[in-house]
Structure 1
Amino acid sequence: MNFLSSALKDSEGFLCDSTAELQLSPTAGHTHSSPPKHASFLRVTEWVKDEDTPTLPANQSRTEKIQDNHTAVRSDCYKHFTPRFKTSVLDQTTVAPPSGQAGLSLTAVIGYNGNGRNNMVWNPDTGLFVYSCGCVVVVEDLHTGSQKQWFGHNEEISTLAITHDAQTVASASGGGASHSSLICIWNASDGSCRNRLSYHKGAVQSLTFSRDDMYLLSVGDFSEPVVALWSTRSFELLCTIQISVPLHDASFCPFTANELTLVGSSAVVFTRIQTQDNSTELQVQKVSLPDTVGQAEVTSLCYSTRRILYTGTNSGHVCVWDCNTQRCFVTWQADGGEIALAPWMLPIPVFCASFGTQPSTGSQGFIE
């Protein structure tokens, strides 16, 4: 028998998300399944060199045409996802392996390319650790060291989220001028994809579950800053709202299930879920940054105790907000670069700047 297999083009730990051709005498009537049981998990990929996804540094501004001819401008920050590869067309034929021989299947993923945004989630109580590599969702049990892979996306995954009970994982991929993005809802226990959601025209910038796991929030990227709220009981779309500025991140309040905060270009958007009878809506209050900070991209956020919110900017500023009054009362310059992550660590949050700078807890403060 003559075997032909496609080559793997791998760069910086990136797992190519395509299916290799295993060509024997094709059997008539066989159709492609995703993923095929006896086919390889590899597919030829190539670097994107066209205008659809220009290979610019992540923090450089660029413009993008969307369907209504409106020109969207990429914000000057690293928080927005840019797919590195485009994939070839899926092979539409599958064949069974010869008698006594096994087909190709993915055993393990080694490495992490880190191209997504918020695409690594962890539940410390259960040991469930989930991250993305190309179009594959990689699931590891930190207690046993075992690894599984979930297949459901045909494009590179942009972001992930996990419920607080660690029973459900959400992953998002795709989005562009020709097609909408895809959100897959996974059962963490068996890896089955129980729902496939599609609403955002562009890429999904952020996914987050509410404190009680009753809601899933999805945020569109800079080309379409639309926020969508889903019910996790039926995964019905409850409501949407469009924000006037590009959004970079979102987080539900850990103290109440119906409050959350969005952050974006020079603004913090305090949001409340309002339900009445059978209707649900998002009520928003957009608040500008303090004058001492000026125009900046708000790139990260985290809640602390007593309903206090910390936000970080691409200029290295940290702002501290009272969620009750929606007012910033302290700012300081924590770093010279973009603050990409603000995990809460008692007694104070540790802010991590992007790309090579050291974590800092800040120094000089300003009372607003």
Structure 2
Amino acid sequence: MNTTVAMNITKSEKSRISEIDFNNLAFGSVFTDHMFFCDYVDGAWQQPQIAPYGPISIDPSAKVFHYGQAVFEGMKAFKDDEGATWLFRPEENWERINKSSDRLAIPEFPKEYFFDGLKTLLHLDNEWIKSGDGNSLYIRPFVIATQSGVSASPSDRYRFMIICAPAQAYYSGEVSVLFAEKYSRAADGGVGFAKAAGNYASQFYPTNLAKEKGYQQIVWTDASTHEYLEEAGTMNVFFRVGNTLLTAPNNDRILDGITRKSIIQLAKDAGIDVQVRRVSVSEIVTAATSGELKEIFGAGTAAVVVPFKSFGYQEKDYDLPSIEDSYASKFKKALKDIQYNRASDPHGWRYEVK
């Protein structure tokens, strides 16, 4: 393994891997033996470290608890049938966490620290990455403000960390969604485009209300009028009307999803008419009523591609047809074949961890 960054590594005395039932994993609940961290002190990122996974000590007055300076990423490692380990478009994750950090006045994290730390961590915990379709290692980079004190100002100390969790499917079973009519995920000029921790906290309450009605997710609408569909709680959203694929354009309310942009490219490669434009609620309701709405599916790192069976709006449910050769299944297979090194990679998305 070629690394360029000096790193302090403390290995775990005993692996916990023998205690794990890899056939029964609740997403994001079991973590590997090691974690990466690096502190920002006196205006500079210090020497990166890897240590056994475990609790960290932090002052109760740390600014992350009081002012919410926290951003994160989600990415995965895959192991092919030959035992090689692959990442999918990891440079996009590094760029996006720094874009998120910049919006929350957090210093950017150096690229060489990110990649060297990630590769070293994946080599140490390589046995946790299982081969086989559907198996992966979910990787969670994040950064938090650690300066002590409750003055309302940006922190001058931060901790960047990477933790990893073996994963299988994020969603099991069918998914029904509710189109938002009252609550909003993000507003113009806000932080919706960033993977800020608070974006997710603020949507838990309305999502719980939706779950009480039998829905698994909300598809958020624009905050100003609630007339245009934007993204779901944990995923970007695609709509298939006839044979045309629709998805909302990026703006300062919508996360620039890596899976989303990959699907747009795959659809173009397949000659599918892709329209990246504002998608109105009325347009989708009309298409569902006329039978022109063929599919709605979500796309994200954790979920990959998730077809929706129905959506609710204004106290009415609209069922979606079951399609054998769906776009959702087509793109999910194409993405996974690239991620697991089973197909050619014409766009250079795969990154081997050597």
More strand by share: 1
TM-score, with structure 2 as normaliser:
0.29
More helix by share: 2
Q: Which has the greater radius of gyration?
A: 1
TM-score, with structure 1 as normaliser:
0.28
